[in-house]
Amino acid sequence: MAWTCSGRSNGELISKMWNARLVLSERVRDAMISVDRAHFTPSQHLAYQDSPQSIGYSATISAPHMHASALENLLPFLGEGKRVLDVGSGSGYLTAVLAELVFPSSTSSSTSPSTSSSSETSSSENPGEVKKKSGKVVGLEHIRALRDLGETNMMKSEKGKKWLQEKKVEFVLGDGRQGWIDPDGEEGWDAIHVGAAAMEIHEALIQQLRCPGR
């Protein structure tokens, strides 16, 4: 079924996967529609094919239906304020879609203007009050050229460029088996996606996973 879902545009690709029940939730569907896969694939005319593509260094950008499966699996742990680590970020595509799920558009907020104003006033009147922590998405690569590729691809959209400038999204270089200790001082990840091949589950990743987390 998955191989019949290729499209002529990003929207058509995702719509076909939605109709084939390869994408199950509206949140995942909307996030994938928001990220143009053509920004992350080496071949523009194959950008909307539901198949993997080589990105060099013996790495690939996975087929869209595989990304959809990973996103659906992690979805309960993806939301505003969550911290997500993408091990083996490669092209940066999945990192970008994860960011869409962690940093929802302000227009989708259900908070009313009056509630927002009240909250801000309360915060200013109580300077000792703990503020809500902001989310973060980190793409981790062990090959510098792929780390750079993910960042370059993310910069192709204005939203991606803004996330990088604000350090809401970062691409870092390191050994994915050891996870990533964020220099910002905040510990742990609500969700860890491992897109790299692994012979075993590495304890460092388990230790960095928050509870509950996935």
Q: Are 202 and 88 in contact (CB under 8 A)?
A: no
pLDDT single digits (tens) 85-104? 999 999 999 999 999 999 97
Q: Which of 55, 52, 47 is nearest to 67 (CA)?
A: 52
Residue 161 lies in a domain: yes
Residue 125 lies in a domain: no
Q: What is the pLDDT of residue 167?
A: 95
Which of 64-73, 130-139, 172-181 comes out lowest in average pLDDT? 130-139
> What is the domain-level CATH number for residue 189?
3.40.50.150
Q: Which of 193, 170, 196 is nearest to 182 (CA)?
A: 170
Residue 122 lies in a domain: no
Q: What is the pLDDT of residue 116?
A: 34
Q: How far is CA 174 from CA 86, 88, 147, in A?
A: 12, 10, 9
pLDDT single digits (tens) 108-163? 333 333 333 333 333 344 545 445 568 999 999 999 999 999 999 999 999 999 99
Residue 173 lies in a domain: yes
Residue 214 lies in a domain: no
Q: How many domains does the chain have?
A: 1
Q: What is the pLDDT of residue 214?
A: 85
The arithmetic mean of pLDDT across residues 81-86, rounded, is: 96
Residue that wins the pLDDT comparison between 156 and 185: 156
Q: Tokens representing 52?
A: 């993997």
User: How far from each other are the two terminal CA atoms of the chain, in whole angstroms?
Assistant: 27
Residue 71 lies in a domain: yes
Question: Rounded to whole angstroms, how far apart are CA atoms 60 and 66?
Answer: 12
Selecting among 9, 15, 34, 62, the annotated active-site residue is 62
By residue range, what is the domain housing residue 85? 2-105+133-208
The arithmetic mean of pLDDT across residues 7-36, rounded, is: 97
Q: What is the pLDDT of residue 1?
A: 54
Question: Rounded to whole angstroms, how far apart are CA atoms 74 and 71?
Answer: 5
Instruction: Judge whether 54 counts as a catalytic residue.
Output: no
Residue 99 lies in a domain: yes
Residue 85 lies in a domain: yes
